[in-house]
Amino acid sequence: MPGKETIFEPLWIDAPNAKAVLQDKRKAGELSQELHDRIAHLIEFGWVVIPNAISAEHADRLSREIDEVVEHPEYFIARRGREAYLHPRREVYDDPTFRLIDYHVNSKLAREAIFTRGIAEVLHSSFETGINAFQCLTFHYGSQQAMHQDGSYVVVSKPLQFMASWIALEDVTPGSGELAYYSGSHRLDDFLFPENSKSWNPGRHGNEIHREYLDSLVARSEQAHMQRDTFLPKKGDALIWASDLVHGGNKITNNRTRRSIVTHYCPENVDPKFKTFTDYFYREHVAEGCFISSRHYDLRPRGLDRLLGRLAKTHRYRRPAFMGKQAPDADRKKA
């Protein structure tokens, strides 16, 4: 399998010898046949589907819980269009571009979903260490986001070392702005912004190179005859993708919702960029080998939680610590 040309240290699943390493792991009994097959698919195509990652009932409960954020908006953070952060009051919530940011902080149901066994085992095997869910968004309607690689907007200390999951909270129908992706595009050579940057900084790099970047992803994927697939999941199905997979949201043609929860995860030993500009960065241990962190919430233990440790965690809703203007190079959602 040809390796990609990259100046960054890849995860083992993206290294040129990944398939051989996977076989060795299987022979050593480190993974089940099912997990082996999922990782093999991820290595080959840059994505893998986990059918029934969560139950339909879990998805329904999560949807209902998300609907209830309007009752205590002060604990939650949302975005509408390209506006900076807002609390999800009714008029924000009702906007088709509404999404909650870092919902995993205040929702046990969300944490159970994003770390459900089928997802966590693929991520654990890919990272070979603990997994940290550091950015989590909910969508009601399709994002219609241009085809992109997440590394241009989601910034971590080792730019290729993170992954994402997309969990369907309802059956997704064609025309609802379904997620689309070029299979195999995770192996495209790096597109580098100035100063060898994998991430785009609008202020420093400008819009022209961003356009060039987006165009080049589609042009190179098409040129290599990569298949443009769409994700039409049933409620509870999940998609996991590699950081460099070229993906985006199809145009919405039927006005149907397409409720989902999207999470970015990195290995425990990789740092989200926001660690450098928040003074409260913390990895909270939430389950075996599973952590959460957030750019917007101060998760550091305090009071009783600090004295008594994790077992006594009081699990009140936490209020956002940071609602400020978006930093220019992070979590930037394009038109």
Ligand X SMILES: O=C(O)CCC(=O)C(=O)O
Q: How many residues does the chain have?
A: 335
Applying CB under 6 A, does 160 fall inside the site for ligand X?
Answer: no
Applying CB under 5 A, does 244 fall inside the site for Fe ion?
Answer: no
Q: Which residue is nearest to ligand X (CB)?
A: 249
At its nearest, how many Å lie between ligand X and the CB of residue 232? 13
309 by Cβ neighbours in 10 Å (0-12 / 13-18 / 19+) ranks as exposed
- Please give the residues from 236 up to 265 whose contact with ligand X meets the rule CB under 6 A: 247, 249, 262
Considering only 179, 238, 246, 286, the residue that binds ligand X (CB under 6 A) is 179
At its nearest, how many Å lie between Fe ion and the CB of residue 202? 17
Applying CB under 6 A, does 137 fall inside the site for ligand X?
Answer: yes
Where is 285: in which H helix or E strand?
Answer: strand 284-287
Half-sphere exposure of 1 (CA within 13 A, CB side): 19
CB under 5 to 8 A by kind: which of Fe ion, ligand X, none does 10 bind? none
Distance between CA 8 and CA 57 in Å, rounded?
Answer: 41
Applying CB under 6 A, does 31 fall inside the site for ligand X?
Answer: no
CB under 5 to 8 A by kind: which of Fe ion, ligand X, none does 297 bind? none
How many residues sit close enough to ligand X to count as binding (CB under 6 A)?
Answer: 11
Asked whether 183 and 227 are in contact (CB, 8 A), the reply is yes
Distance between CA 42 and CA 40 in Å, rounded?
Answer: 5
Angle, vertex CA 153, rays to CA 151 and CA 158, nearest 5: 40
Which residues make beta-bridge pairs with 179? Answer: 249
CB under 5 to 8 A by kind: which of Fe ion, ligand X, none does 267 bind? none
Considering only 14, 102, 150, 284, the residue that binds Fe ion (CB under 5 A) is 150
At its nearest, how many Å lie between ligand X and the CB of residue 173? 14
| Nearest of 232, 243, 256, 108 to residue 187 by alpha carbon | 243
Nearest residue (CB) to ligand X, 115 versus 141:
141
Distance between CA 174 and CA 323 in Å, rounded?
Answer: 35
Per CB under 6 A, which region of 142-150, 184-192, 197-205, 314-322 contacts ligand X? 142-150
Per CB under 6 A, which region of 19-27, 36-44, 136-144, 199-207 contacts ligand X? 136-144
DSSP string, 89-141: -HHHHTSTT-EEESGGGT-HHHHHHHT-HHHHHHHHHHHSS-EEEEEEEEESS
Residues binding ligand X (CB under 6 A): 137, 139, 142-143, 145, 150, 164, 179, 247, 249, 262
Residues at the interface with Fe ion (CB under 5 A) = 150
